[in-house]
Structure 1
Amino acid sequence: MDLVMAIIVAGMIVLCFCSVLLKWNEVKYRKEGLPPGTMGWPIFGETTEFLKHGPNFMKNQRARYGSFFKSHILGCPTIVSMDAEINRYILMNEAKGLVPGYPQSMLDILGKCNIAAVHGSTHKYMRGALLSLISPTMIRDQLLPKIDEFMRAHLSNWNNKVINIQAKTKEMAFLSSLKQIAGIESGSISQPFMAEFFNLVLGTLSLPINLPGTNYSRGVKARKKIISILSQLLEERRASQETHLDMLGCLMEKEDNRYILSDEEIIDLIITIMYSGYETVSTTSMMAVKYLHDHPNVLEELRLCLLQKEHLTIRERKKLDDPINCNDLKSMRFTRAVIFETSRLATIVNGVLRKTTQDMELNGSLVPKGWRIYVYTREINYDQFLYPEPLTFNPWRWLDNSQESQSYFMIFGGGTRQCPGKELGIAEICTFLHYFVTRYRWEEVGGEKLMKFPRVEAPNGLHIRVSHLTR
């Protein structure tokens, strides 16, 4: 009996202590004019609930507090905006004190010179350097030939195999990007680089607590090793004094180069290029394969389009092994529509973060200096007024080109920070789908579970059995 009473008393003490902690954290962030909401626990805030329950957490908070509410996620007090008009205003007005506000874990691991961390004139300069690497001319003359060559080889031996398409598309996105950055030298550094890069990616979306075994700790260590690999590559290139027709060669070029960067800036830009393209390209490619499998009518239209309207015509004027070019890509209208619809329905990117540089009023509420604003765009993708039957995979909706120019179109971000690598990423996915659907048919093996938040992934992989497509 005494033991039971002791347990009850201990339980009540714990509950009281937890209640006091929660109340203390609410009082700590209490300020007149703030929007409604809850702040959760000290230090951790509501990060666990956010990462675990994701969209449901957001929907529940919106039901309680409206489309503009406060929280504490990923280590910082945050205002969450789920209103399309307010989101557009935030993205279009960086000059009015709304600068990038990505989590500390991301800033630590991607580097202080990465394009998402800087703003003002520095951002303009770094963005200019990035755009010079992925301009339409660079894509046409240098990058697309490398992508085409890589995709042919990557997809060459999949026949009569059961493959994990998630692992294959991750490997594909990483190695294709590395080939564009470091050309023929990428083979010598690909394996040690890839192992560390995957750890780096996991660390960017975590609490910045540097304890052994945490994703953040592994991400920080991975960054140090990647810096070592890239620094050695820079030294070797300077010693050889050879000309290299790849991204790294362009960044290191001193003559006729408008954007002269330090080694630290070059390394952070390379990491940013690989990071920003990796997850969107790999996950969109995987989910396109998944949706095409689940919607045979879309796959039939894609193949019909490919074989009769797009790629049969392309192949008729080429030799069998001739690569596809930019004009070929422009003709792949339905392929592009499949990519947009995959990105919308799977919601690869849930939103973007900004930070205030001063106290400001937004939506009639106070947003204190230094707080983050989470421009949460996920729900826009499922708005039935914007996308009729929003849970249906319907690429045909994108054949009307006006969809891409709508103010609510934020699949690739918005404002001055719309994804600069949008067209390069689309070129990579188009090339992958071109060779995959014209070479192979496939069926799923196992029916593995898919998670949609905080990342779109198959925890146990997504396995398919592949065989040659006979015409």
Structure 2
Amino acid sequence: MAVFVVIMSMVVLGFSICTALLRWNEVKYRKKGLPLGTMGWPVFGETTEFLKHGPNFMKNQRARYGNFFKSHILGSPTIVSMDPDLNRYILMNEAKGLVPGYPQSMLDILGKCNIAAVHGSAHKLMRGALLSAISPTMIREALLPKIDESMRRHLSNWDGKTVDIQEKTNMMALLSSLNQMAGNESSSIAEEFVPEFFKLVLGTLSLPIDLPGTNYRRAFQARKNIIRMVEKLIDQRRTSTSTQRDMLGCLMNTEDSRYKLNDEELIDQIITILYSGYETVSTTSMMAVKYLHDHPRALQELREEHLAIRKAKGPSHPIDWNDYKSMKFTRAVIFETMRLATIVNGTLRKTTQDMELKGFFIPKGWRIYVYTREINYDPFLYPEPLTFNPWRWMDKSLESHSHILLFGGGSRLCPGKELGLAEISIFLHYFVTRYRWEEVGGDELTNFPRVAAPNGLHLRVSSY
């Protein structure tokens, strides 16, 4: 009986402490004029609920507090905006004190000079340097041949095998980006680079808790190892008499003094380019394969588009710029995949001054999560929004609609948009012209915080 009393006392005490902590955190952030909402636990806030339940967490909070509410996620007090018009205003008005506000873990791991984190003159510098490395001319003349080479090599010898398409597209996206970045040297560093890079990716959406065994600690150490590899590569380039036509060569040897980067800026841009390209290209490629498998009519039209391109070329002739630009239906498939799978859920901004938005007071230093996921399923913008219908994108005007934010918006429109589309298009070209496939095992898919197949997405592949 005494043991039971002790246990019950401990339970009551624990419950009381938890209640007091939650109450204290709510009072701490109860400033006049703030939107309604809940703040969760001290330090941790509602991060666990946000990462675990994602869209349902957002829907529940919106049902209670409306399209504009407060929370505490990923280490910071945050305003969540689910209002399409307000979201567009926030993204278009960086100069009014709404600057990028990425989580501390992402800043630590990708670097404080990465293009997604800086603003003002620093952003102009980084964006100018990056655009010179992935301009249409650079893509057409230097990068597209590297992409074609990577895809041919990666998609060889799949006939008769059962493959995990998630693993394959992850490796495809990273190795292709590494080849575009480092050209001839990429193969010599890939074996050491790849496992470190995957550790880095896992840590970008984590609480910045620097303890052994955490994703953050592993990712931060991986960043150090990657920096060491990249510094060695840069030193080799500087002592070499030859000039490489790849992204690293372009960033290092730009003739425009306005966009000359120091070594810290250069390394952060390299890591950011590899990270950004990997995330979008790998996941979109995997989900496009999934949706095409489930929608034979779309697969047939896509395959006919690519067979026509292949018929006009020799078997060993690479895809060129004109071939890529002719892939109209392929582009539609990619856009519809990004919309329906919601590869990008939203973006973060931070206030540099106290301000008023939608009649509410937003303190300086708070983050604003521009949550764009729900607009992807707006029936007014996309009739039958839960249906995979790439034909809707054949009307080019849809791409330029003011609420289409698949690639960001304003001055933050993704500079690598065209490069990413080219990579996915060429992957699909070689995949559908070489192979048929069937799913094996009915593997589970999750859609938040990243679209992923926790146990892989397995396909039985045969030659076409």
TM-score (norm: length of structure 1): 0.97
1:454 match:
449
- Matched residue SS, 1:464: strand
Distance (whole Å) between structure 2 residues aligned to residue 133 and residue 156 of structure 1: 29
Q: What aligned pairs does 1:315-334 form with structure 2 within 5 A after superposition?
A: 315-334=310-329
1:96 CA displacement: 0.2
Distance (whole Å) between structure 2 residues aligned to residue 178 and residue 395 of structure 1: 30
Q: What aligned pairs does 1:308-387 form with structure 2 within 5 A after superposition?
A: 312=308, 314-387=309-382
Question: Match of 1:455, as an amino acid?
Answer: R
Distance (whole Å) between structure 2 residues aligned to residue 306 and residue 231 of structure 1: 40
Shift in CA distance, 256/376, structure 1 to aligned 2, threshold 3 Å: closer
1:83 match:
83
Question: Match of 2:435, as an amino acid?
Answer: Y
1:68 CA displacement: 0.1
1:150 CA displacement: 1.1
Distance (whole Å) between structure 1 residues aligned to residue 208 and residue 130 of structure 2: 28
Aligned residue pairs total: 464
**CA deviations over 1:87-121 (Å, ceiling 9, x no partner):** 00000000000000000000000001100111001
Query: Is 1:264–2:264 an aligned residue pair?
Result: yes
2:14 match:
14
1:80 CA displacement: 0.1
Q: Is the 8 A contact 2:196 2:222 kept in 1?
A: yes
Please identify runs of 4+ aligned residues in structure 1 that moved more than 6 A: none
Question: Match of 2:9, as an amino acid?
Answer: V
Q: What aligned pairs does 1:289-308 form with structure 2 within 5 A after superposition?
A: 289-307=289-307
Q: What aligned pairs does 1:155-174 form with structure 2 within 5 A after superposition?
A: 155-174=155-174
Question: Match of 2:158, as an amino acid?
Answer: W
1:33 match:
33
Distance (whole Å) between structure 2 residues aligned to residue 247 and residue 138 of structure 1: 9
Distance (whole Å) between structure 2 residues aligned to residue 81 and residue 15 of structure 1: 32
1:5 CA displacement: 2.1
Q: Percent identity between the aligned chains? A: 73
1:241 CA displacement: 2.8
Question: Match of 1:435, as an amino acid?
Answer: Y
1:258 CA displacement: 4.4
1:66 CA displacement: 0.2
1:255 CA displacement: 4.3
Distance (whole Å) between structure 1 residues aligned to residue 319 and residue 302 of structure 2: 17
Q: Is the 8 A contact 2:99 2:352 kept in 1?
A: yes
Shift in CA distance, 71/390, structure 1 to aligned 2, threshold 3 Å: same
Distance (whole Å) between structure 1 residues aligned to residue 135 and residue 238 of structure 2: 25
Moved more, 25-34 or 324-333: 324-333
Consecutive unaligned residues of structure 2, counting only runs of 5 or more, are: none
1:254 CA displacement: 5.6
Shift in CA distance, 254/373, structure 1 to aligned 2, threshold 3 Å: closer
1:202 match:
202
Distance (whole Å) between structure 2 residues aligned to residue 377 and residue 256 of structure 1: 36
1:193 match:
193
TM-score (norm: length of structure 2): 0.99
Distance (whole Å) between structure 1 residues aligned to residue 314 and residue 328 of structure 2: 23
Question: Match of 2:442, as an amino acid?
Answer: G
Question: Match of 1:197, as an amino acid?
Answer: F
Distance (whole Å) between structure 2 residues aligned to residue 171 and residue 274 of structure 1: 12
- Matched residue SS, 1:427: helix
**CA deviations over 1:413-451 (Å, ceiling 9, x no partner):** 111101110010000000000110011000011111101
**CA deviations over 1:385-436 (Å, ceiling 9, x no partner):** 2111111111011111111010110111111101110010000000000110
Q: Is the 8 A contact 2:125 2:258 kept in 1?
A: no
Shift in CA distance, 316/5, structure 1 to aligned 2, threshold 3 Å: closer
Distance (whole Å) between structure 2 residues aligned to residue 93 and residue 355 of structure 1: 12
1:153 match:
153
Question: Match of 2:293, as an amino acid?
Answer: H
1:320 CA displacement: 2.1
Distance (whole Å) between structure 2 residues aligned to residue 254 and residue 278 of structure 1: 25
1:240 CA displacement: 2.0
1:318 CA displacement: 2.8
1:257 CA displacement: 5.5
Question: Match of 2:71, as an amino acid?
Answer: S
1:356 CA displacement: 0.1
1:117 match:
117
Question: Match of 2:446, as an amino acid?
Answer: M
Question: Match of 1:234, as an amino acid?
Answer: I
Distance (whole Å) between structure 2 residues aligned to residue 200 and residue 389 of structure 1: 38
**CA deviations over 1:60-100 (Å, ceiling 9, x no partner):** 00000000000000000000000000000000000000000
1:316 CA displacement: 4.4
Distance (whole Å) between structure 2 residues aligned to residue 118 and residue 241 of structure 1: 34
Distance (whole Å) between structure 2 residues aligned to residue 122 and residue 32 of structure 1: 34
- Matched residue SS, 1:430: helix
Question: Match of 1:241, as an amino acid?
Answer: T
- Matched residue SS, 1:79: strand
- Matched residue SS, 2:293: helix
Match of 1:431 among 406, 426, 433: 426
1:12 CA displacement: 1.1
Question: Match of 2:347, as an amino acid?
Answer: V
Distance (whole Å) between structure 2 residues aligned to residue 21 and residue 227 of structure 1: 41
**CA deviations over 1:185-215 (Å, ceiling 9, x no partner):** 1000011111100000110100000011101
- Matched residue SS, 1:60: helix
